[in-house]
A and B are shown apart, each in its own frame.
Chain A
Amino acid sequence: MSWILDNLPLILDRLWAHVATSLPAIVLALLISLPLGWLAHRYRPLNGPVLTGAGLMYALPSLPLFIVLPALIGTGVRDAVNVVVALTLYGVALMVRSVADGLDGIPPEARSAATALGYRPLRRFLAVDLPLAGPVILSGLRVVAVSTVSLCTVGAVLGIPSLGMLFTDGFQRGILAQILTGIVLTVALALALDRLLVLAGRLLMPWARTPSPRASRRSNWVSARSIRSDRADRADRADRTDEAVTPS
């Protein structure tokens, strides 16, 4: 406890650096994955490549990616831009699927009704499709927010400031309290962001409020907690559609 009180300015400094690196990445990931997810949803031939690409992207280990990026985008290894770009890529890799899934899940009747009411495509997308896909997109965004905040710490081993520096400093100087403070703050920041997103979702999408407790728990579990195993399942389903197309 005394370590925390003695080093409050340092901690706040790291916390701020952490927020300043992870927030832009989360926002950028959302902005980039909306059009990409729409493309994957709208044009079937693009669906496979976009989602497979996203899957492979997500498979890349973070520290090696932080090191490879400077060679590709011409930044220095200790540049925070690397981390923002890398985290954005991870975010997009996760989000594209949520956006495509959300749009895929819209009942066709809702779309037809909007078209019949005279909605032009862009307005229909903004006023009908996006709000209906909103809950699924939000659940994806929550996963992105939590994993981005957690991944952000890895940059510290390269000397990029974040809460992760509390781990590296604490390890080198042998201060357990410093590492623990870092872990607690990282988890707290991730969960706070997650809560904020839930609240924002409730304000922006009042219609999506708790369907049935069981269904929401289930969707939380399947879509948010084990996105990857879901991916395997989906790859499997993609195969099935292939089978359906090829005449046998």
Chain B
Amino acid sequence: MNQLWDALLWCLDPSNWQGPSGIGARALEHLGYTALALVIASVIAVPVGWWVGHTGRGRGIAVAVSGAARALPTLGVVTLMGLMLGIGLAAPMTAFVVLAVPSLLAAAYAGFEAVDRQVIDAARAQGLTEAQVLWRVEVPLGLPLLIGGLRSAALQVIATATLAAYVGAGGLGRYLFLGLKTQDYAMMLGGSLIVVLLAIVLDLLFAAAGRAAVPRGVRLARQGQAQ
């Protein structure tokens, strides 16, 4: 418990917050990596997932890709990219994207699949064009599941971003590895606690966003069923 106290003191020490290697700057860097990786992964995975979900084509491949990727060890991907692309941000960022794509692909696809076929048929029967069915029916109804996928991708990236420091990039992982080298357990533990805190906050934010994304009509229908 004494160690936790030391770590807390380390976190609260103002001198640890100053400059480009201060806690604030490192935390922002860490969040920046996470955000960038999520944006890149979304640009790749969401259109593909939606296309698979909308057309029902390529389903087997999507399942296989996301399934196999789940077994990929994050550290292995980070070090492999580090060795191939060299020191810097490109290597860890490529690894983050590779790790975030499967959950996003699965969620984008599953969100569309979860839409009741009758709702889509009804939309078509009312004369909605294919594009309207996509944007006004499938996308809104699939959104809560997509945000769920974004949530798990975000958690995975924020966890893996601590490994970015291992291949020479920044982020909160710096404290973990610096502390490990200098036997400074308070620094390692303090850095770890901040990452844990960030992950929990992010998880709760995405949970709230997922709930807010449930379309009004769906919520009303559920209330109707509940009563």
Contact = CB atoms under 8 A, between A and B. Distances in A.
20 contacts: A59-B202, A61-B199, A63-B173, A71-B1, A147-B70, A149-B71, A153-B76, A154-B73, A167-B75, A179-B76, A183-B80, A225-B66, A226-B148, A229-B106, A229-B146, A229-B149, A232-B207, A232-B210, A235-B210, A235-B211
B145 interface: yes
Given A191-B71, A222-B110, A226-B106, A232 B145 contact: yes
B76 A186 contact: yes
B192 A228 contact: no
Contact of A156 (B75, B193, B214): B75
A68 interface: yes
Contacts of B3: 70-71
Contacts of A167: 73, 75-76, 78-80
A153 B74 CA distance: 8
Interface of B: 1, 3-4, 7, 63, 66-68, 70-80, 82-84, 103, 106-107, 110-111, 113, 144-149, 151-152, 155, 158-160, 162-163, 166-167, 173, 176-177, 180, 185, 188-189, 191-193, 195-196, 199-200, 202-203, 206-207, 210-211, 214, 222-223, 226-227
A217 to B, nearest CB: 7
A51 B106 CA distance: 23
A56 B151 CA distance: 12
A71 B70 CA distance: 30
A183 B195 contact: no
Nearest to B198: A61
A145 B80 CA distance: 23
A179 B79 contact: yes
Nearest to B183: A77
B150 to A, nearest CB: 9
Given A71-B4, A170-B83, A221 B195 contact: no
B68 A187 contact: yes
B7 A71 contact: yes
A110 B174 CA distance: 56
Q: Is the interface of B mostly helix, strand, loop or mixed?
A: helix
A183 B211 contact: no
Contacts of B152: 226-229
Contact of B223 (A63, A156, A243): A243
A71 B189 contact: yes
Contacts of B113: 218, 221
Interface string A115-129: 000000000000000
A44 interface: no
B158 A240 contact: no
Contact of A239 (B82, B103, B202, B211): B211
Contact of B189 (A68, A190, A229): A68
Contacts of A13: none
A83 to B, nearest CB: 13
Contacts of A182: 73, 76
Interface in A50-70: 55-56, 58-65, 67-68, 70
A16 interface: no
B50 to A, nearest CB: 14
B192 to A, nearest CB: 3
Nearest to A229: B148
A183 B110 contact: no
A225 B70 contact: yes
B72 to A, nearest CB: 6
A61 B147 contact: no
Interface in A164-215: 164, 167-168, 170-171, 174, 176, 179-180, 182-183, 186-187, 190-191
B132 to A, nearest CB: 25
B210 A236 contact: yes
Contact of B148 (A67, A68, A170, A232): A232
Contacts of A180: 80
A146 interface: yes
B222 A153 contact: no
B148 A164 contact: no
B65 to A, nearest CB: 10
